[in-house]
Amino acid sequence: SEEKMVSLNTIDDQLIKKAADEGIETMWDRKKAMKAPCGFGEKGVCCRICGMGPCRVSPVAGKGAQKGICGATADTIVARNFARMVAAGTASHSDHARDIAHVLHMASRDGNYQVQDEKKLIALAQEWEVPTEGRDIYDVAHEVAEIALNEFGKPFGTLRFPDRAPAPRRKIWEELNIMPRAIDREIATIMHSTHMGCTSDAESLLRLSMRTSLANGWGGSMLGTELSDIVFGTSTPRMTEANLGVLEEKQVNILLHGHDPCLSEMIVAAAQDPEMIKLTEEVGAEGINLAGMCCTGNEVTMRHGVKIAGTFYQQELAVLTGAIEAVIVDVQCIFPSLAPITDCYHTKFITTSPKAKITGATHIEFNEEKALESAKVIVREAIENYKNRKQDKVFIPQSKAQAITGYSNEAVIKQLDRVVNSNIDPQGTVKPLADVIKAGVLRGAAGIVGCNNIKTKHEYSHIEIMKKLIANDVIVVTTGCAAQAAAKAGLLSKDAIKLAGKGLQAVCELVDIPPVIHLGSCVDNTRIIRLVSAVSEHLGVDNSDLPVVGVAPEWMSEKAVAIGTYVVSSGIDVFLGITPPVTGSPEFVDLLTNKIEDMTGAKFFIDENPLTLADKILERIEEKRTKLEA
Q: Distance between the two ends of the chain, CA-based, in angstroms?
A: 46
Q: Supply the angle between the helices 460-471 and 480-488 in degrees, to the nearest 10.
A: 80
User: Parallel, antiparallel, or unpaired for β 474-479 and 288-293?
Assistant: unpaired
Contact call for residue 191 and ligand SF4 (CB under 6 A): no
The interface partner of residue 297, options being ligand BF8, ligand SF4, none and the CB cut-off 5 to 8 Å by kind, is none
Contact call for residue 196 and ligand SF4 (CB under 6 A): yes
In whole angstroms, how close is the CB of 459 to ligand BF8 at the nearest point? 12
Taking the least distance from each CB to ligand SF4, the nearer of 54 and 360 is 54
The interface partner of residue 55, options being ligand BF8, ligand SF4, none and the CB cut-off 5 to 8 Å by kind, is ligand SF4
**What is the Cβ-side half-sphere exposure of residue 320, based on CA atoms within 13 angstroms?**
25
Q: Amino acid identity, residue 283?
A: V
Taking the least distance from each CB to ligand SF4, the nearer of 87 and 361 is 87
Q: What are phi and psi of 57, to 5 degrees?
A: -95, 160
**Looking only at residues 60 through 89 of this chain, which bind ligand SF4 when binding is defined by CB under 6 A?**
68-70, 72, 77
d(CA 227, CA 230): 5
Stretch binding ligand SF4 (CB under 6 A), from 43-51, 438-446, 592-600, 601-609: 43-51
The interface partner of residue 576, options being ligand SF4, ligand BF8, none and the CB cut-off 5 to 8 Å by kind, is none
Contact call for residue 198 and ligand SF4 (CB under 6 A): no
The interface partner of residue 522, options being ligand SF4, ligand BF8, none and the CB cut-off 5 to 8 Å by kind, is ligand BF8
Taking the least distance from each CB to ligand BF8, the nearer of 406 and 480 is 480
Contact call for residue 437 and ligand SF4 (CB under 6 A): no
**What is the Cβ-side half-sphere exposure of residue 357, based on CA atoms within 13 angstroms?**
5
The interface partner of residue 403, options being ligand BF8, ligand SF4, none and the CB cut-off 5 to 8 Å by kind, is none
The interface partner of residue 312, options being ligand SF4, ligand BF8, none and the CB cut-off 5 to 8 Å by kind, is ligand BF8
In whole angstroms, how close is the CB of 452 to ligand BF8 at the nearest point? 6
In whole angstroms, how close is the CB of 44 to ligand SF4 at the nearest point? 12
Q: Pick the closest to residue 167 from 537, 490, 630 (CA basis).
A: 537
Please give the residue ranges that form the binding site for ligand BF8 (CB under 6 A): 259, 294-295, 312, 333, 450-451, 480-481, 521-522, 557, 559-560
The interface partner of residue 450, options being ligand BF8, ligand SF4, none and the CB cut-off 5 to 8 Å by kind, is ligand BF8
The interface partner of residue 465, options being ligand BF8, ligand SF4, none and the CB cut-off 5 to 8 Å by kind, is none
The interface partner of residue 53, options being ligand BF8, ligand SF4, none and the CB cut-off 5 to 8 Å by kind, is ligand SF4
Q: Pick the closest to residue 259 from 79, 545, 522 (CA basis).
A: 522
Q: Amino acid identity, residue 377?
A: V
Taking the least distance from each CB to ligand SF4, the nearer of 67 and 625 is 67
Burial of 420 (0-12, 13-18, 19+ CB in 10 A): middle
For residue 605, the tally of other CB atoms under 10 A from its CB is 18
Question: Exactly one of 11, 49, 87, 320 binds ligand SF4 (CB under 6 A); which one?
Answer: 49
Taking the least distance from each CB to ligand BF8, the nearer of 276 and 294 is 294
In whole angstroms, how close is the CB of 66 to ligand SF4 at the nearest point? 11
- Quick one: the chain helix, strand, coil %, rounded to 5? 55, 10, 35
The interface partner of residue 261, options being ligand BF8, ligand SF4, none and the CB cut-off 5 to 8 Å by kind, is none
Taking the least distance from each CB to ligand BF8, the nearer of 318 and 413 is 318
Stretch binding ligand SF4 (CB under 6 A), from 42-50, 130-138, 216-224, 439-447: 42-50
Contact call for residue 52 and ligand SF4 (CB under 6 A): yes
Opening angle at CA 578, ends 576 and 579, nearest 5: 90
d(CA 308, CA 10): 18
The interface partner of residue 258, options being ligand BF8, ligand SF4, none and the CB cut-off 5 to 8 Å by kind, is none
Taking the least distance from each CB to ligand BF8, the nearer of 144 and 485 is 485
For residue 611, the tally of other CB atoms under 10 A from its CB is 11
Taking the least distance from each CB to ligand SF4, the nearer of 80 and 346 is 80
For residue 608, the tally of other CB atoms under 10 A from its CB is 14
The interface partner of residue 295, options being ligand BF8, ligand SF4, none and the CB cut-off 5 to 8 Å by kind, is ligand BF8
d(CA 248, CA 317): 15
Taking the least distance from each CB to ligand SF4, the nearer of 68 and 89 is 68
Mapping DSSP to helix (H, G, I), strand (E, B) and coil, where does residue 256 land? Answer: strand
Taking the least distance from each CB to ligand BF8, the nearer of 333 and 434 is 333
d(CA 35, CA 56): 20
Taking the least distance from each CB to ligand SF4, the nearer of 51 and 274 is 51
The interface partner of residue 38, options being ligand SF4, ligand BF8, none and the CB cut-off 5 to 8 Å by kind, is none
Which contiguous run of DSSP H or E holds residue 500? none
Contact call for residue 55 and ligand SF4 (CB under 6 A): yes
Taking the least distance from each CB to ligand SF4, the nearer of 47 and 317 is 47
Contact call for residue 46 and ligand SF4 (CB under 6 A): no
d(CA 442, CA 624): 13
Torsion of CA 566, 569, 574, 580, to 10 degrees: 70
Long-range CB pairs of 418-422 (<8 Å, 24+ gap) are 418/510, 418/511, 418/512, 419/510, 419/511
In whole angstroms, how close is the CB of 453 to ligand BF8 at the nearest point? 9
Residue 253 bridge partners (DSSP): 289
Q: Amino acid identity, residue 379?
A: V
Burial of 426 (0-12, 13-18, 19+ CB in 10 A): exposed
d(CA 555, CA 525): 14
User: What residues contact residue 20 under an 8 Å CB cut-off, 6+ apart?
Assistant: none
505 close to 482: Cβ distance less than 8 angstroms: no
Taking the least distance from each CB to ligand BF8, the nearer of 279 and 563 is 563
Interacting residues with ligand SF4 (CB under 6 A): 47, 49-50, 52-55, 68-70, 72, 77, 196
